[in-house]
Structure 1
Amino acid sequence: MLTHYDLMLPLLKIMQKENKTYSLREAYNELLNVLDCSDGEKNATLDDGRNIIFYRLQWAKTYLKKAGLLEYPQKAHFELTELGLKLDLNKLQKVDMKFLSQFETFKEFRKIGVTTITSEKKENNNVPTSDNEELTPPEIILEQSKLLKEELSNELLSLVKANTPKFFEKLVVDLLVAMGYGGSHQDAAQAIGKTNDGGIDGVISEDRLGLDKIYIQAKRWENTVGRPDIQQFKGALADQVAKKGVFITTSSFSKEATESAKKSGIVLIDGDKLTSLMIEFGLGVQIERSFHIYKIDQDRFDEDNF
């Protein structure tokens, strides 16, 4: 059965030839025309009914993006980057871990699922090893779940950025309500995006009784949030004699901005934290599959307990 690595080179060749933006379904349909495999392999499915090639194509796409060869120009679509277009594919026999590891962004990505002991063994012995050979089965599941969460977070952030500022305001409302703030959803919706008062985008109740208020700054930005932005928000809080403020952005915060916020008690939520909270509170995501790891209940076999 073809692995996700087996799909990468033919995918790159198709995309270089056509040089256009693809949806996953479009890429899958074109791949089926060039893959050297049987109809049985093309139609094979996982236990849950999903087509194996289609499923592994998603991971092929993810790995190529992490290597900087693909990018997502719009929601649910991808295309080659300048680096991907310049690759001399005629010199390649296959795309594998060794090939992808020449790209720094991919090496950073792989650190999520590789333990320090395995990395050290590779460096010291200079022999190929499995990323998982030093891990117990439960540890493998844990490491791979981190990898899945990282990719899910990236996909979520891309979707959020691709939407409108109005969508982002509603997303902030939904998240805060899911976290237990704002009283009712209607109250929270009325609070966000209404004030526009000197750097404040909204005021929301900390609890259902409205005993305390939290002042919100929500920015769907690409550029890094700097210290001046925090200073402006800090000044707006002072004007309102406010004690609590939260600055939410789809981008990131500079070191100076983070230090300034700490001194003022302002909570910062960047793009990574935002998507982490979305996953934690089930916003914009759904459970695809769950596993239970069982162990022996020793008390059940202790005669003193009978």
Structure 2
Amino acid sequence: MLKDLFSKKKRYATIPSERAKQQAPEGLMTKCQNCGTILYTKDFKKNLQVCPSCGHHHRMSAYERIDFLLDENSFVEYDKGMIGKNPLNFPDYDEKLASDRKKTKLNEAVVTGEGTINSYPVVIAIMDSRFRMGSMGAVVGEKITRAIEKAIELKRPLILFTASGGARMQEGVLSLMQMAKTSSALQMLNRAGGLYISIMTHPTTGGVSASFASLGDYNFAEPRALIGFAGRRIIEQTTRQELPEDFQTAEFLLKHGQLDKVIPRHDMKETLTKILDMHTPS
């Protein structure tokens, strides 16, 4: 039903010669994590960090997604200064949080705010796997819940990009509570007649996949994104069955009815614009 909404365009990045690879200064070139192709970093980033040789979608930071998806200078961030604590006094957790803040320039594993996509106003939340592997702790759950409540208040569609290893073990049951908390907030959005678009990126696993990531009015994913609850090895050991090669990929979930569409990154903004237009009163 949705296939007619989407169009595909081929885009390419420059692949340098062998001589250029050998003479390149550090940082000038990037190696594809999937096929090993060496690319000029500048062209690779222009190509939205998608390998032109194999189509592999490399991970993007939250602000990189904001830059390519939202209209220029339209983003207003929510709750940027919210910082997590160590409620269980978990050993070395404070130091790990501080290290990730310094390394990523983020205070937590999700960035939330509002902006416009081709002039359509939205509330957006984007998880960033560089911070504690995008794990969901109390602050992540609180920021996402506040973004949902803001979408209700402003009567704007909510768009949420997930990238997570699941609930954050260092916060114990407080992290698990965020599954129910965010899901309850989404039910409030649904009752208010709001639109929720979920886009799952690599990886979306554990408690995130089992809660707000899978509750969209539209559930989308990027190509070959890993999506699942328990790991492949655990499932095979528990069921004593060999799983298909493409198990827990976005394409596998689409084939089995758990996704509405797998959308290449280059088509994401155009696709979201079409859906926002469909849901905007004339």
Q: TM-score, normalised by structure 2?
A: 0.26
TM-score by length of 1: 0.24
Larger radius of gyration: 1
Point out the structure with the larger helix share: 1
Q: Which has the higher contact order (CA 8 A, sep 6+)?
A: 2
Structure with more of its chain in strand, by fraction? 2
